[in-house]
Amino acid sequence: MDRRDPPPTEEGWYVLHDLRTIDWDAWRAAPDRERDRAVEEGVEYLESVESVDADRGDSAVFSVVGHEADLMLVHLRPAMSDLDTLQRAFERTAFAGFTERSSSYVSVTEASGYTERARDYFEGEVDDDSGLAQYIRSRIHPDLPDDGYVSFYPMSKRRDPEYNWYDLPFDERAEHMADHGDIGRDYAGEVNQIITGSVGFDDWEWGVTLFADDPAAIKDLLYEMRFDPSSSKYAEFGEFYFGRRFPPADLDAFLAGEGVPTDAGADESAGDSDTDSALRNELDALGVGADAPDGAHGIVLRSDADAVREEVDGLRDNFEHYDTHVLTEVREDGDGTAVVSVWETESAADTARGFLSDLPGVTEATTGPLDGGAATTADAGESDDDGGESIREELNDLDIYAGQPHGEDVYALVLYSEADPDDLYAEVDDLRGSFEHYDTHVKTAVYEADGADTAVVSVWDTADAADTASGFLSDLPDVVRQAGDRGAAAVPESRGDPAGTSKAPDASEDADGERGDSPASDGSSAFGTMGMFYTVKPDHREDFVEKFDTVGGLLADMDGHRATHLYENREDENDMFIASRWDSKEDCMEFFRSDAFGNTVDWGRDVLADRPRHVFLA
């Protein structure tokens, strides 16, 4: 009999799942000083293993639900000897004396070469800096996801006479694995996974660790997979361990029988409720009755300007084009003028706050959910999104523009390249194949415009995922700054650039056409915006292009406008992308408040297949 070909594999970090049961009788009988020492040393150990540098692994602790254990410690480290050291270091803590190991599992992160593209990697036909290579490295050197719930189980492939996985031809096994993976991709954004190999390390062949914020999502995924032949015919499963992650500082609360993480406990919830009531009460005191769905978020701004009502009227007309808008009103009370805006989602409210904060005379803004969660109050000009801004600044240094589409829970990256479009597309297609293995990936596409550099757009469910993807995207060839953001005086006239051509060089340009030092002409100070994913009905594509030409003529005459281009997805001509560059956010906002923009949005209702998404960059 011919020997079957095993798939090539590459290993990364070694993994220990350490399951512990608490000796509750001993814990209850121990003097307070012993328990205090145990908690102190336990917290110190857990915090130290979780604070390891990212290139040295990761660790987390979980409260296990059910009878199998009370705690699960998960460690990822570069060497098996590191795991050996970690488990012995735990045994030296006073806390370990109150625990017994109920189970454990030793394995190593693993990537296998079942797909044709993966085999190219293992055969050395893929560059080390390619998207595929970076994807495989991310699989074998993963971070533990921040999702609240975890499910761990070991498994093996069957060797029954009728269903023997290891007797199947390679191509048949590869087909099973591809079909199995397709099911998992249907749960992108809901369930994250880490797959580890354990042949020779433990009693089973693989370990599967799933993470999700909704525990039902894990159940639904595994239920659907049970009907797939790779599971129903060829898989055997061990015990399942299900738990909830909590921070090391909550160990005392865990041992006291309190809810963990403690920010979900009663004390914190009561504090949040008081704050939420204050926000809701302020709306009531202003006479604003918001019939909003669960999860709605509100904004209350205070202004000392006289003309704020007229400005709000213009903004409200634009807000009403978005499905997530509930209301925006101006009210007067003893403290002056208040602007109230309510939205169905937090992300939509955050975006609206950016518009509203530019209103004249704003002194403070309070934002938060109407029911459940905490509200925040900040003085004018302050922002509670320092993390997002720091990411934007870092990406800006890589010539990558980042932002969050208006009212959406996704994050967008855009870069521009002078490379040959066909060569660039091949590189992006390779990256996209790797991105699609990530649950948080929404879309990556190449867009082209007449007379402009090619654009690459990548959309992700989370800011962290987008930040990680930017590292891959920044390695694409010939990445450049956006047109209108490089100090260029003019670009050749074309339909793709109707507004960036006729504007004469301004006073900040030198005689030779180079930009001077004024802030308005410095590329680093430019403000970018894009209307992305204008999905046009096929019958109205030409109408949309003509409308863009008309609006482009208006843009050319507006102060602070630099350049605007209409891009088309090279794989779908009805998927449009507009990139626009301005001297400042104030200049851009003038356009969004204009009648021309409002009329264009009204017109778009008939020609667009879906509502547009707007994202502000830089």
Contact 144, 74 (CB under 8 A): yes
Pull the structure tokens for residue 214: 């909704």
SS3 8: coil
Residues 6+ apart with CB under 8 A from 322: 348, 406, 407, 611
Question: What are the angstrom distances between the C-alpha of 146 and each of 210, 410, 419, 501?
Answer: 11, 17, 37, 48
Residues 6+ apart with CB under 8 A from 264: none
Contact 112, 157 (CB under 8 A): no
pLDDT number for residue 608: 83
pLDDT number for residue 312: 85
Residues 6+ apart with CB under 8 A from 429: none
Per-residue pLDDT tens digits for 221-241: 999 999 999 999 999 999 999
pLDDT number for residue 493: 26
User: For all residues of the chain together, what is the average pLDDT?
Assistant: 79
Exposure b/e, 459-482, CB count within 10 A at least 16 = b: bbbebbbbbbbbebbebbeebebb
Catalytically active residues are 153
Percent of the chain with pLDDT over 90: 37
- Give the residue from 598, 600, 536, 540 showing the smallest Cα distance to 572: 536
Full 3-state SS string of 246-291? CCHHHHHHHHCCCCCCHHHCHHHHHHHHHHHHHHHHHHHHCCCCCC
Q: Is the pLDDT of residue 384 over 60?
A: no
- The confidence band for 32, taking pLDDT boundaries of 50, 70 and 90, is very high
Residues 6+ apart with CB under 8 A from 41: 93, 94, 95
- The confidence band for 475, taking pLDDT boundaries of 50, 70 and 90, is confident
Query: Average pLDDT of 369-390?
Result: 55
Query: Average pLDDT of 33-44?
Result: 97
C-alpha 101/C-alpha 82 separation (Å) is: 19
C-alpha 417/C-alpha 391 separation (Å) is: 21
- The confidence band for 213, taking pLDDT boundaries of 50, 70 and 90, is very high
Per-residue pLDDT tens digits for 495-550: 232 223 222 223 222 222 232 333 333 444 556 665 566 888 999 889 888 888 88
Pull the structure tokens for residue 202: 């433990």
Which strands make up the sheet holding 297-303, listed edge to edge? 325-333, 336-343, 297-303, 362-369, 376-379
Per-residue pLDDT tens digits for 480-497: 865 444 433 222 222 232
Q: Is the pLDDT of residue 131 over 80?
A: no
Pull the structure tokens for residue 568: 């088309």
Q: Is the pLDDT of residue 272 over 60?
A: no
pLDDT number for residue 48: 96
Query: Does 199 or 616 have the greater pLDDT score?
Result: 199
For helices 595-607 and 541-556, give the axis angle rounded to 10 degrees.
Answer: 170
- The confidence band for 334, taking pLDDT boundaries of 50, 70 and 90, is low
Pull the structure tokens for residue 272: 């949040």
Task: Please tell me what DSSP assigns to residue 4.
Answer: P
Query: Does 405 or 341 have the greater pLDDT score?
Result: 341
pLDDT number for residue 512: 29
At residue 360's C-alpha, the angle toward residues 359 and 363, to 5°, is: 90
Fold for the domain defined by 9-263: Alpha-Beta Plaits (3.30.70)
Query: Does 455 or 359 have the greater pLDDT score?
Result: 455
- Give the residue from 391, 385, 331, 329 showing the smallest Cα distance to 356: 329
- The confidence band for 129, taking pLDDT boundaries of 50, 70 and 90, is low
C-alpha 611/C-alpha 595 separation (Å) is: 19
Query: Average pLDDT of 264-283?
Result: 47
C-alpha 231/C-alpha 225 separation (Å) is: 7
Q: Is the pLDDT of residue 59 over 90?
A: yes
Q: Is the pLDDT of residue 552 over 50?
A: yes
User: Identity (one letter) of the amino acid at 339?
Assistant: V
User: Which ranges in 51-141 belong to alpha helices (H)?
Assistant: 80-91, 116-122, 131-140
DSSP secondary structure string, 294-344?
A: TT-EEEEEEE--SSHHHHHHHHHHHHTTSTTEEEEEEEEETTEEEEEEEES
Report the DSSP pairing between strands 149-157 and 235-237: antiparallel
pLDDT number for residue 600: 75
Q: Is the pLDDT of residue 265 over 60?
A: no
Nearest 5°: phi and psi at 57? Answer: 115, -155
Q: Is the pLDDT of residue 196 over 70?
A: yes
Residue 422: count other Cβ atoms within 10 Å of its Cβ.
Answer: 10
Q: Is the pLDDT of residue 268 over 70?
A: no
pLDDT number for residue 85: 96
Helix, strand counts (H, E) of the chain: 18, 23
User: Which ranges in 168-259 belong to alpha helices (H)?
Assistant: 170-185, 215-226, 229-232, 251-255
Choice among 312-316, 372-376, 424-428, 509-513 with the minimum mean pLDDT: 509-513
Is the Cα torsion angle 178, 181, 183, 185 positive or negative in sign? negative
Looking at the domain covering 386-617, what would its CATH class be? alpha beta
pLDDT number for residue 436: 83
Query: Does 314 or 160 have the greater pLDDT score?
Result: 160
pLDDT number for residue 379: 58
Q: In terms of pTM, does the model score above 0.75?
A: no
- The confidence band for 378, taking pLDDT boundaries of 50, 70 and 90, is low
Task: Please tell me what DSSP assigns to residue 497.
Answer: -
- Give the residue from 607, 592, 614 showing the smallest Cα distance to 317: 592
> Which overall architecture, per CATH, does domain 271-379 show?
2-Layer Sandwich (3.30)
Domain extents in the chain: 9-263, 271-379, 386-617
Query: Does 51 or 274 have the greater pLDDT score?
Result: 51
pLDDT number for residue 383: 46
Residues 6+ apart with CB under 8 A from 425: 446, 570
pLDDT number for residue 98: 98
Task: Please tell me what DSSP assigns to residue 482.
Answer: P
Bridge partners of 71, per DSSP, are 20, 63
Query: Average pLDDT of 57-75?
Result: 96
Per-residue pLDDT tens digits for 136-149: 888 899 999 988 99
Task: Please tell me what DSSP assigns to residue 469.
Answer: H
C-alpha 318/C-alpha 502 separation (Å) is: 28
pLDDT number for residue 487: 39
Are 9-263 and 271-379 equal in CATH topology?
Answer: yes
C-alpha 281/C-alpha 100 separation (Å) is: 51
